[in-house]
Amino acid sequence: MKILVTGANGLLGQKLSLLLDKDEQIQLTATARKKIGYTLTHSDFKILDITDTTQTLDVISQTKPDVVIHTAAMTNVDQCETDRKGCWESNVTAVEHIVNACEKINSFLVHVSTDFIFDGTHGPLDEQAIPKPVNYYGESKLAGEHVVMNSKLDWAIARTVLVFGITNDMSRSNIVLWVKKNLAE
């Protein structure tokens, strides 16, 4: 099976790429805007800026993945508020590029979203819960979901609640590292 992962420098993309790389029956192409800071032993890596429609179409058309797992996004909630244009470009326009490329080769798309599409006032929630984002990050991720849902693709959307851990190069923070740093200070 051929799988392409976007956002291979992010925490989820990195961990997923390293896990899939161990399975010799999977032909993985990990992608990111910049070179990855870890080694894949059985897989390929390609530079991919998903906000570039031509580059996205070229990489997906050349690799012809059976499945695209889209983990890349602008996830810093505060940054999404201050850079709304960049947020929309990363979380919605890029999804449009990926959907268009996947439709051309009929790839299955797994789109990673977030519980931030809800207001957090009640739970647990199921697939039928009505979204009500309270910030721009949540609005952008919900709009990205709508792009996927309205596509001609076979798709799945995974809504994460809290992604935490440590990347190999420690270039990104997350809630656990933030708490640890603040407690230490």
Q: Model-level pTM?
A: 0.90
Q: Is the dihedral of CA 107, 63, 157, 141 positive or negative?
A: negative
pLDDT of residue 185: 87
Question: For residues 147 and 143, what is the distance between their CA atoms, to the nearest angstrom?
Answer: 6
Q: Is 132 helix (H, G, I), strand (E, B) or coil?
A: coil
Angle at 43 between CA 40 and CA 45, to 5 degrees: 80
pLDDT of residue 97: 98
CB of 64 closer than 8 Å to CB of 3: no
Residues taking part in catalysis:
137
Which secondary structure element, helix H or strand E, spans residue 142, and what is its range?
A: helix 136-149
CB of 151 closer than 8 Å to CB of 103: yes
Question: Amino acid identity of 129?
Answer: A
Helix, strand and coil in the chain, % to nearest 5: 40, 15, 40
Residue appearing with tokens 């439709």:
103
For domain 2-184, is the CATH number 3.40.605.10?
no
From first to last of its 185 residues, the chain has per-residue pLDDT tens of 999 999 999 999 999 999 999 999 999 999 999 999 899 999 999 999 999 999 999 999 999 999 999 999 999 999 999 999 999 999 999 999 999 999 999 999 999 999 999 999 988 888 899 999 999 999 999 999 999 999 999 999 999 987 766 666 555 555 666 677 778 88
